[in-house]
Amino acid sequence: MSSAFREATGLLRIAANTGLSTARWLIDAGLHTGQKVARDLAAGEPPVKIATELGAELRAAARDALGMPEPEPAPPSTEDLRARGAELLRKSADVHYVEDRHPAYARILDDLTPDEARILRFLVTEGPQPMVDVRTNRPLGIGSELIAAGLSMVGRQAGVRALDRTNAYLNNLFRLGLIWFSPEEVDPDRYQVIEVQPEVQAAMAKAGRAPRTVRRSLHLTPFGEDFCQVCLPPTV
């Protein structure tokens, strides 16, 4: 019997002595676990894998019953990291290995708000978007002061609920590698709509005499395009 399994059963014995309601809860958990084991055996899962998963489930059940937090996982050792790196290189050399999605996509979804998902969907369907910076006007641009950066209509057009958080959303999407801010312009006519928006006009008034706007654009990265294709396809 593995040490993990012995730990789990020991915790269950302690929990069973803490009260009738706890014991009943543990019985229910045990029945669920037993049914899962039976299904795994019938499906032909390896016994070692079943025993490992059983120990993990029993430990979790016992800790829940006792109100004990899960222990912090130990950081991976140098040997573990090198083994994982070697496995990646092995797969890269295997012509039969197919990776249908990037392993980071699940973690990225955990780091997105619903509004950020709306922005990504908008960029997928509508393409690159114009944005402007507002600066003070100085000769040759020397000493020009940035008044407001990254002003756009992306949040409004995407229909986000917290419009005032649009720039924070864009910063997070940039942090995740899904979007990038290009110094290149899109269609010049599209900037006229942005430059008459109240927030842009307010920034220009703050900039003083003859303020200057710097035209830029917002794009999905190739990584962001693939992420949206896998996780946020337009047909969903």
CATH at residue 147: 3.30.110.190
CA angle 156, 159, 164 (to 5 degrees): 55
**Same domain for 129 and 58?**
no
Residues of the chain with pLDDT under 70: 1-71, 95-100, 140-141, 236
pTM of the model: 0.62
Whose structure tokens read 């040490």?
A: 3
Whether residue 116 is found in the same domain as residue 55: no
Q: Residue holding tokens 């940035």?
A: 146
| One domain, residues 62 and 136 | no
What residue type is 202 in one-letter code? A
Number of other CB atoms surrounding residue 157 within 10 Å: 13
Q: Specify whether 110 is located in the same domain as 227.
A: yes
Q: Are residues 119 and 51 in the same domain?
A: no
Same domain, 222 and 142: yes
Please check whether residue 56 lies inside any domain of the structure.
yes
d(CA 154, CA 124): 12
- Indicate whether 236 belongs to any domain: no
Name the domain boundary from 48, 66, 84. 66
Please state, in angstroms and rounded to a whole number, the distance separating the CA atoms of residues 155 and 75: 39
The reply to whether 113 falls in a domain is yes
Instruction: Assess whether 126 and 218 both reside in one domain.
Output: yes
At 154-211, the pLDDT tens digits run 999 999 999 999 999 999 999 999 999 999 999 999 999 999 999 999 999 998 888 8
Domain that holds residue 43: 3-66
Q: Which amino acid is at 227?
A: F
Q: What is the C-alpha to C-alpha distance for residues 193 and 186, in angstroms, rounded to an integer?
A: 13
Compute the distance between CA of residue 231 and CA of residue 121 in angstroms, rounded to an integer: 10
Residue-level pLDDT at 20? 44
Same structural domain, 109 and 226? yes
The tokens describing 139, both together, are: 């000769």
Say how many domains are in the chain. 2
The sign of the torsion formed by the CA atoms of 80, 86, 90, 91 equals positive
